[in-house]
Amino acid sequence: MNALASMKNRRGSSRPAAKGLTTSWLLATALPVCFGLVPLQAEATADEVGGDGTTTPNPVVTSNTVWTVLESQSVSNPNNYRYCTATCSADGLNPGSFGSNQYRFRVSLNGQPLSVNGAYERTLGFQNTNLALAPPMFYIADSIREITTTGGPFTTPIGTSFIKCEARKFLAATPNLTVDDVSLTVTCTDTLLP
């Protein structure tokens, strides 16, 4: 047995140290992997971010059966599917008529779904009441209210799709609503979170 093999290592063991494997090499190699410092797979990244906003002309919501498009953003997918999330924000101006006036706001992909009261839909309401005072007085709750809704992830197919911010009245008798300061922000990626 040669003198090097019989020498004790720093811990007092009589076994010879493995050639080329040192504690510092093991720590330098193992720790980054354990703590995620060395990526083992590609992370999801935002491939596309877009949006638009408008202050004029102010869209007017006139129907309880047809969605009024307040803002729209196109998403082009030449080769594969994409997953997009959108946020729409708008100010509704109180129509000023007596009673409870309610409006639906949503984010949709290519105008779908056609149904109402979905997960990406929010309700904007104004409660204007008649106060029993002499002379009779009319009380307007708020002159303007902000509404925000988020939708997604939408799976956008190959080709061009449109993510839309839309609104409609609850009832036909509900007065028309003027919408002010609409914004729509869209973020798309090729990978969904697990």
pTM of the model: 0.68
The whole-angstrom separation of Cα 157 and Cα 41 is: 25
Identify the DSSP state of 4: H
CATH number, domain 46-189, options 3.40.50, 1.25.40, 2.60.120, 3.10.20: 2.60.120
Kindly report, residue by residue over 106-139, the tens digit of the pLDDT: 999 988 876 677 788 898 988 877 666 555 555 5
How much is the pLDDT for 114?
A: 66
Q: Which residues does 34 contact at the CB level (< 8 Å), separation at least 6? A: none
What 3-state DSSP class applies to 36? coil
The whole-angstrom separation of Cα 165 and Cα 151 is: 10
Pair 166, 73: CB distance under 8 Å: no
How much is the pLDDT for 4?
A: 45
C-alpha atoms less than 13 angstroms from C-alpha of 176 in its C-beta half-sphere? 8
pLDDT band at residue 24 under the 50/70/90 scheme: low
Q: Which residues does 141 contact at the CB level (< 8 Å), separation at least 6? A: 94, 126, 127, 128, 129
Structure tokens given for 68: 């009024």
